[in-house]
Amino acid sequence: QGNPLFILPVSALFIYFGLSMFDIVQIPIPRFLQPKTGKVQGGSFLSAYLFGAVSGTIASPCLSPGLILILHYVASIASQSFMGYLEGFGLLFIFGIGSSLPLLIIGTFSGSLKMLPKSGLWMVEIKKLIGIMLIAMALYHLSHLERYVPWYIFVWIIVATFITLGIYYFVSASKSSTTGMSRYRNLMGVVLFIAAGLIALQGQKALYDHLYPSVKKSIWSHDYQKALTQAQQEHRLLFIDIGATYCPACKTLDSQIFSQQPILHALQDFISLKIESDVHTTSYEALKADYGSFIQGFPTFLIVDPTTKEVIKKWSVEINQLSLVQIQAELQALARTYSSKKSV
């Protein structure tokens, strides 16, 4: 349900790099950037700089997919906590060290070249594994387009992708030059087919849920004014979950915290409101008018006194540092305190 103008180009980039790992498409180096070592003279800083620029350009098609993979992960964790920023810094730092250290060792100790693993088919297979991860990242981004491609349809696209990759490995296994490589590729094909089967079970469940939706009433309201009025009439606190459909942290917290039975049980003492800023726009604008100073990003969780509109408690991504028991206990304590005040 995110913005397709952003998601589609990013997903296309992941797919392009993923296919390049399978040598289905090639990442060309512009002619003017191709190495012309005959024109470079040794023994100067300029020549070292030019050799570095040329080698970096040549290595870019190999390094860029892996770098994009790491950047995607770093972007998803950096917004969750300060430790996420540190982890992201560490990952990119180690990636840079890992990319340059072999060249530094080879340049310093010429004999170390003999110690490096010899190139061969194993490097091609590692490249294909990176390609699978890149395609998986593309599918992850495309899954946010639920408004345009429902999940019960998209899950079968994932199944078809895994089956196609499995068939690719089975076909390439029959063309392998060694027994070991043939066994490895057959194993990869089996693993991909098993993964497709497991995902197909989820697809069947998603399709069943779509055709036969549950009649169980959700505790969540999506209309701010109605929820506020109900909270005032029933003398209950208003719990507000503010997020966006393109927010990965929001989805993570929804699945790990706010879909768990202890938390759902505690929220029964509240009037619960869930607002997606890009879907429930009218309610979101009303929330910004009343609590704009408290909404500094997504996700934001507010516990509000419906009578005075006073914010009693605010959480953001730091709520994931609390256990379910701690969150449940705090919710129950706030509900009891408010109820006792109203009964006096």
Type of residue numbered 69: L
Mean residue pLDDT across the chain: 81
The answer to whether the beta carbons of residues 28 and 57 sit under 8 Å apart is: no
Phi, psi at residue 50, to the nearest 5°?
-65, -40
Q: Is the pLDDT of residue 230 over 90?
A: yes
The answer to whether the beta carbons of residues 20 and 65 sit under 8 Å apart is: yes
Distance of CA 63 to the CA centre of its chain: 20
Question: DSSP readout, 89-155?
Answer: HHHHHHHHHHHHHHHHHHHH-GGGGGGSPPPSHHHHHHHHHHHHHHHHHHHHHHTT-TTTS-HHHHH
What pLDDT is stored for residue 127 in this prediction? 87
| 227: exposed, middle or buried (Cβ count in 10 Å: 0-12, 13-18, 19+) | buried
Q: Is the pLDDT of residue 215 over 50?
A: no
**What is the arithmetic mean of pLDDT over 243-267?**
87
Between these two residues, 326 and 244, which has the higher pLDDT value?
A: 326
Between these two residues, 54 and 26, which has the higher pLDDT value?
A: 26
Q: Which SS3 state, helix, strand or coil, does residue 240 take?
A: strand
d(CA 80, CA 163): 34
Between these two residues, 240 and 216, which has the higher pLDDT value?
A: 240
Q: Is the pLDDT of residue 238 over 90?
A: yes
d(CA 191, CA 43): 52
- Find tokens 């060792």 and name the residue: 105
Question: pLDDT digit string (tens) for 77-99?
Answer: 655 566 767 888 888 888 888 77
CA atoms 308, 314, 316, 321: torsion sign: negative
Q: Please tell me the least confidently modeled range out of 113-127, 131-145, 226-240.
A: 113-127
Query: Which token pair is 329?
Result: 């206990």
d(CA 243, CA 102): 44
Q: pTM for the whole thing? A: 0.55
Q: Please tell me the least confidently modeled range out of 14-18, 231-235, 245-249, 307-311.
A: 245-249
The answer to whether the beta carbons of residues 46 and 56 sit under 8 Å apart is: no
Q: Where is 310: in which H helix or E strand? A: strand 310-315
d(CA 220, CA 17): 41
Between these two residues, 255 and 300, which has the higher pLDDT value?
A: 300
Q: What DSSP designation does 25 have?
A: S
What pLDDT is stored for residue 1 in this prediction? 47
Q: Is the pLDDT of residue 56 over 90?
A: no
